[in-house]
A and B are shown apart, each in its own frame.
Chain A
């Protein structure tokens, strides 16, 4: 499906979603509270069928977080970037999608580990790469570690 049509569908489903046609992908931003609902629609709607989550990550913008999901449909061969905007920087939370795309279970654990974003209803939200007793979330922009980090 063309990007414009996808945009149309999404604005009908979720009026609060804002979309932008960037050079590479169509980018959809949605508040964290509305995110899960839209993700489900994108996965299961017959005309969307975004079944392949090929990348998922998070970006710290100092006053808010954005979790980024790269989606592709193997049936319709279209892609988009879905972003959940988490306005609360002190206590970031967003709903899990690991029951929709199974690969997200480990990816969400990684984001929780490195950014401290909590995924609601995640079955096993623990640290993944770092030790269980690690203090802080290293990929946050305000993370400080005077022993292990050299800032040039």
Chain B
């Protein structure tokens, strides 16, 4: 075994453990790198450090309880994760929620997406050696957290959705606060763009790095901004509109380059689209009930159900097999991070170790989302 690794010129491949506590993995992800000097030959992800067996736990919980597990998966897209389960139950029972709920959910989703992309932008800059981005992003993200806290009582894991509607009505300050945030953030976002997009150090480290072709993006199931940076039209908000996405105008961001810089640009463009969606809805929140009439114990009919939503990372799918009881027979979460991680080995081969950091931060991996 050892002899095979030594090549003709006398050099030898070697292994390096990156993680599980490496700062650029943003959680506990261990990568075993096979290296030839500084060149990556193979990346082998070892996951499961935060595996909580949410799928097994869900088999013993009612549908309302499962919602509280989902925001511990991708904690940055907590609202969308909750929404996925809520929508699944509503669609299976053919419950129509009020327009007010649909619009509230959409605004909340887009605020969550903005907060998630802000955090991604901040830590990505820090991965590349820029501390400023981290401070800017957390400063602006605080405003969204405050808005969330006022209405839902929590800053990160909101648990705001429930089958049939949302838990509480909006706080009276909500519209005013959101408008103020949007007004301020519209001046900050060009600053974000200016700080990195034209930065020679940043562009040198991302342009042409980690190129992902369209065919591979589809084959690996890379969705979200990472997939769309390769031209994969996978935006669930467009392909299978849910909540109020069918009544707002927004563009699906599709780029062709597929490198780390394109994935960065896709998210910056996407933030503008989220702002535009909130702009269209914030003045037109219809009146109505926040909760459709529901039975105390939710039982789904016998059968299989699949519900997809677009989280900040890509397509989240919830697959439920029901045998007619109040707890599901089997639940599977198709988490976007899991599929996005599977492409890491493929796109980092041949690059240097420092490029792996750039590739990982532009894939925007959230480890609890991968491990579930």
Binding site for B on A (CB under 8 A): 22-25, 27, 51-55, 57, 59-60, 68, 70, 74, 81, 101-103, 105-107, 110, 114, 128-131, 138-139, 149, 151-152
Contact = CB atoms under 8 A, between A and B. Distances in A.
Nearest to B61: A152
Contact of B220 (A27, A70, A102, A114): A102
Interface residues of B, number: 36
A69 to B, nearest CB: 11
A105 B342 contact: yes
A54 B219 contact: no
Given A54-B334, A59-B330, A74-B233, A103 B56 contact: no
A23 B303 contact: yes
B305 interface: yes
Top-10 shortest CB links A-B? A129-B48, A103-B221, A57-B332, A55-B334, A129-B51, A106-B342, A102-B219, A103-B220, A59-B330, A55-B317
Contact of A24 (B306, B346, B371): B306
B315 interface: yes
A129 B338 CA distance: 11
B319 A102 contact: no
Contact of A59 (B53, B315, B329, B342): B329
Nearest to A101: B219
B329 to A, nearest CB: 7
9 contacts: A22-B303, A22-B304, A25-B306, A51-B218, A55-B306, A74-B232, A103-B342, A106-B342, A130-B51
Contact of A106 (B55, B215, B338): B338
A84 to B, nearest CB: 15
Given A54-B221, A102-B342, A128 B317 contact: no
Interface string B297-317: 000000111101000000101
A129 B371 CA distance: 7
B47 interface: yes
Given A55-B332, A129-B48, A130-B51, A102 B216 contact: yes
Nearest to B334: A55
Contacts of B145: none
Contacts of A27: 304
Nearest to A111: B332
B219 A103 contact: yes
Contact of B319 (A57, A103, A151): A57
Interface string B350-372: 00000000000000000000010
Nearest to A113: B48
